[in-house]
Amino acid sequence: MVSYWVCLVLAVVFGVMTVVNLRTNNLKAVRLRNNVLSVDKASGDVETALRELRTYIYSHMDTSLSSGTNVYPPVQLKYRYDRLVTAEKQRVQAATAKVYTDAQALCEQQNSNDFSGRNRVPCIEQYVTSHTVSEQTINEDLYKFDFASPAWSPDTAGFSLLATGFFAACGSASFLFHQWRKGKLL
């Protein structure tokens, strides 16, 4: 029978390994999140950085990004969203300007003899009203992400946690067995 002291020492060693590995997992997840945010700011390949973060979080324990930050959800592609909103506003401005130009050209063609513009103005107003360009709303929720880490994962932290539990249980069972053999346990 293995001494309960050996099992308890091993449980403590694996417990320390578990804590260190959990902290390492968390730090890497934070690094990957910061990478996503910097790639977003630089207008880079956000999909690849986001996929790397998601894959890492889904396969490692203690990688939740919700704790430690006041921002929810913890990953927000603010710059990408802002760029899309700006591009949509520019698209609407350009399309609206083209509608006015087209209206003026069409109405001049239809009323070519009208020098005062009396007949052209209602024509232009009617054309602009019928060809109104509206701004498309961009759903900001599509640019916010939160990923949930598993309670246990088959990585170094997960196996260290299992070993800690195993040696703690073995040490406790061994201690109880020694006490029972000595007759001290009822």
Average pLDDT, the chain: 90
User: What does the alpha-carbon distance between residue 35 and residue 50 come to, in Å, rounded to a whole number?
Assistant: 9
Are 81 and 39 in contact by the 8 Å Cβ rule? The answer is: no
**CA dihedral angle for residue 125, residue 129, residue 133, residue 135, rounded to 10 degrees:** 110
| pLDDT, tens digit (0-9, with 9 covering 90-100), for 103-159 | 988 888 887 776 666 778 888 889 999 999 999 999 999 999 999 999 999 999 999
185 has a pLDDT exceeding 60: no
User: Quick one: pLDDT at residue 172?
Assistant: 92
- Counting residues of the chain whose pLDDT is more than 70, the rounded percentage is 94
Helices and strands, counts by H and E, the chain: 5, 2
User: Quick one: pLDDT at residue 158?
Assistant: 96
46 has a pLDDT exceeding 80: yes
User: What does the alpha-carbon distance between residue 99 and residue 39 come to, in Å, rounded to a whole number?
Assistant: 37
More confident residue, 67 or 120: 120
User: What does the alpha-carbon distance between residue 158 and residue 151 come to, in Å, rounded to a whole number?
Assistant: 9
Question: Which sequence spans correspond to the domains of the chain?
Answer: 1-74+149-186, 86-145
What is the pTM assigned to this prediction? 0.79
- Counting residues of the chain whose pLDDT is more than 90, the rounded percentage is 69
User: What does the alpha-carbon distance between residue 64 and residue 172 come to, in Å, rounded to a whole number?
Assistant: 32
